Structure 1
Amino acid sequence: MSLFETTEVLVFFNVLLQQLGAPVPAVPTMILSASLSGEASGIFVLAFVATLASLIADWAWYLAGRFYGYRVLSVLCKLSINPESCVSQTESRFRLWGPWSLVVAKFIPGFSTVAPPIAGAVKMPILSFTIASALGAFLWAMAALLAGWLFKEQVNRLFETLQDNLFIVGVLAALICSFWLMWKLARRDAFQSRLKTPKMRPEDVLGLVKAGHSNLRLIDLRPAVVQEAEPLPGWLPANSDSALAAARTWSKSDLIVTMCACPDDVSASHVAGLLRDHGYRQAIAMEGGYEAWLELTRH
């Protein structure tokens, strides 16, 4: 069986795996498949296959977000090399573009995986989700496929050249990926080293709440879409900027507890550090974040 006879299968599983979160690029496969297509009508078949595969993955993430809410975002961002960036960028993009950010999500690496569970978490209607997701997937697939079709001669020549120099290409690709990974990991370690500060246990926070501690300030740093979907009584919904603005009206001696729904409490620790830099010496992150608080208050 030739590569041409299996292009639809290759595209389907490649797109499906990528949209499920596997670190496998799908665009090169679609470009090559389009360059091997004998007729222009084959482009639309490949686009349909890619859209279907993307939809299946998006439905899976949507349902995960629908049933498990913010926890899915936390797990996905925990896999990120820079989890704090994952959380903050996801929140800002979804806040800026709304649920219809799904249309452009496919063109933004990483965001295409985290957008569907957010749509599920905020209870976006399944029909609207499907339309937006399908449109985004189709436009994304057609962009890659048309590029492969329009430049099929160049793509085929490049593919042949790569095949003739496969060892050299593999070594260069491995070196580039290794240097990129080391650079990203170094950035992650540098960021996390700044967050190694003491944290307050959720049991202690709850004890202060029940005791009616007068100088206790609670800051909720979960993504805005999650704050709206799952509000927390007693917690001030905020982000890093609004938290600093709100703190200006408080006493510098107040006990400020920050909480987020992010891996290793990175956003909570980051904002607590910013508050301490501004003179709020009793600002501290709550250990375990929202999941720990939810587990504690559920009983």
Structure 2
Amino acid sequence: MENITSLFSQHGLLALFFGVLVEQLGAPIPALPFLLLAGVAAADNGVFAVQALAVATLASMIADSVWFYAGRRFGHRVLALLCRISISPDTCVRQSELSFARRGIATLVVAKFVPGLSILTPPLAGAMGMRVSSFVLFNIAGTLLWAGSGIAGGLLFHNQVGQLLAYLSQLGDTAMLLVACGVALYIVIRIWRRWRVKRSVASLPRVAPAQLADLLERGEELVIVDVRVSLAADAQRTHIQGARHIELSGIETAPVDTWPAKAKIITYCSCPNDASALKAAYLLGQRGIAASVLHGGIDAWIDAGYPVETIGHA
């Protein structure tokens, strides 16, 4: 924290710009201290608050635009890359998609206040085919709210922030040790939870794309379940011919009485490590229905050159 304070005191708006830019690009460097320090500095200069808000918004929009176009160009592959470096790689995309399903594009407004969601929202918006104008409008609104809140916090509580910074400086290595212990405990808990979930689904059978194609060609009785979250209204989605769309959140209550008794059940998604499809198969197993998982999901199916149906959303 002392290094951040020193950096800001020497470079001001430039430090704020790069602090926000680097964080929004995905580096584990918090931008909030820079925003708070900008608010503290603005206590003696009201114009500085406006300048800081503009600089922070510009930096964030540059980073978010990079991720948005990466998502539009590379789709869920860029999301999988981001999730591989997260603590919860098997669920982060699904949680972000659920947020879009519940809040729509308003997710862009609140994303920066939710840990883990901020970095994933721009590429997910791009992968979902969101219009550039919609992305820019709602992302700017969310960025202004987020950056403005941080600067306003520093402005309103500049005395308390100054005292806190002085206290942390006095603690020195002790403060860093406490923070490191807290982060380590958090990581251990998340890794344990991830291991527990993985163990519960490790025995579920997988079906390769070639095997599924062969089953379809032979006319085998199948129930193929697409468990992906519904996409944005202006997006297009592709699915395997004949697949039934049942979101993961609805698997436990989905009516399965009409499913053929001897049909082979296969679930699939588009997420790292087939996380959603595995959980769907597990939940179906809890209901007494044996299910397999399409290995690699629809991405592997498409990469193998097998046909899909495309449905445009109005």
TM-score, normalising length: structure 1: 0.92
How many Å separate the matches in 2 of 1:172 and 1:2? Answer: 23
Give the deviation of 1:84 after TM superposition. 4.0
Q: Residue in 2 aligned with 1:32? A: 37
Q: Residue in 2 aligned with 1:211? A: 218
- Percent of aligned positions that are identical: 34
How many Å separate the matches in 2 of 1:80 and 1:260? Answer: 19
Quick one: which amino acid aligns to residue 105 of structure 2?
A: P
CA contact (8 A) 1:14 1:29 kept: yes
Q: Residue in 1 aligned with 2:311? A: none
CA contact (8 A) 1:94 1:101 kept: yes
CA contact (8 A) 1:261 1:291 kept: yes
SS of the counterpart of 1:231?
strand
Taking a change above 3 Å as real, the CA distance of residues 82 and 2 of structure 1, as seen in their structure-2 partners, is closer
Quick one: which amino acid aligns to residue 48 of structure 2?
A: G
Tell me, yes or no, if structure 1 residue 61 matches structure 2 residue 67: yes
Residue by residue, what CA displacement relative to the aligned partner does 1:135-185 show, whole Å, maximum 9, x if unpaired? Answer: 111111010101101111111111112112211111111111111111111
CA contact (8 A) 1:54 1:137 kept: yes
How many Å separate the matches in 1 of 2:56 and 2:150? Answer: 11
Q: Residue in 2 aligned with 1:15? A: 20
How many Å separate the matches in 1 of 2:306 and 2:263? Answer: 27
Q: Residue in 2 aligned with 1:155? A: 161
Taking a change above 3 Å as real, the CA distance of residues 56 and 298 of structure 1, as seen in their structure-2 partners, is farther
Q: Residue in 1 aligned with 2:148? A: 142
Give the deviation of 1:11 after TM superposition. 1.5
Quick one: which amino acid aligns to residue 258 of structure 1?
A: T
Residue by residue, what CA displacement relative to the aligned partner does 1:88-136 show, whole Å, maximum 9, x if unpaired? Answer: 3212210122123212211112212221122222322212211211111
**1:284 pairs with one of 292, 295, 299:** 292
Give the deviation of 1:288 after TM superposition. 1.3
Taking a change above 3 Å as real, the CA distance of residues 246 and 75 of structure 1, as seen in their structure-2 partners, is farther
Number of residue pairs matched?
297
Give the deviation of 1:40 after TM superposition. 1.6
Quick one: which amino acid aligns to residue 293 of structure 1?
A: W
SS of the counterpart of 1:224?
coil
Quick one: which amino acid aligns to residue 226 of structure 2?
A: D
How many Å separate the matches in 2 of 1:21 and 1:237? Answer: 33
**1:297 pairs with one of 267, 287, 305:** 305
How many Å separate the matches in 2 of 1:230 and 1:172? Answer: 47
How many Å separate the matches in 1 of 2:8 and 2:287? Answer: 61
**1:172 pairs with one of 175, 178, 181:** 178
CA contact (8 A) 2:93 2:120 kept: no
Q: Residue in 2 aligned with 1:91? A: 97
Q: How does 1:244-283 map to 2 (within 5 A)?
A: 244=252, 245-281=254-290, 283=291
Taking a change above 3 Å as real, the CA distance of residues 132 and 40 of structure 1, as seen in their structure-2 partners, is same
| More helix, by proportion | 1
SS of the counterpart of 1:230?
strand
Quick one: which amino acid aligns to residue 126 of structure 1?
A: V
SS of the counterpart of 1:89?
helix
**1:235 pairs with one of 202, 218, 243:** 243
How many Å separate the matches in 2 of 1:2 and 1:68? Answer: 36
Runs of 4+ more than 4 Å apart: none
How many Å separate the matches in 1 of 2:275 and 2:208? Answer: 15
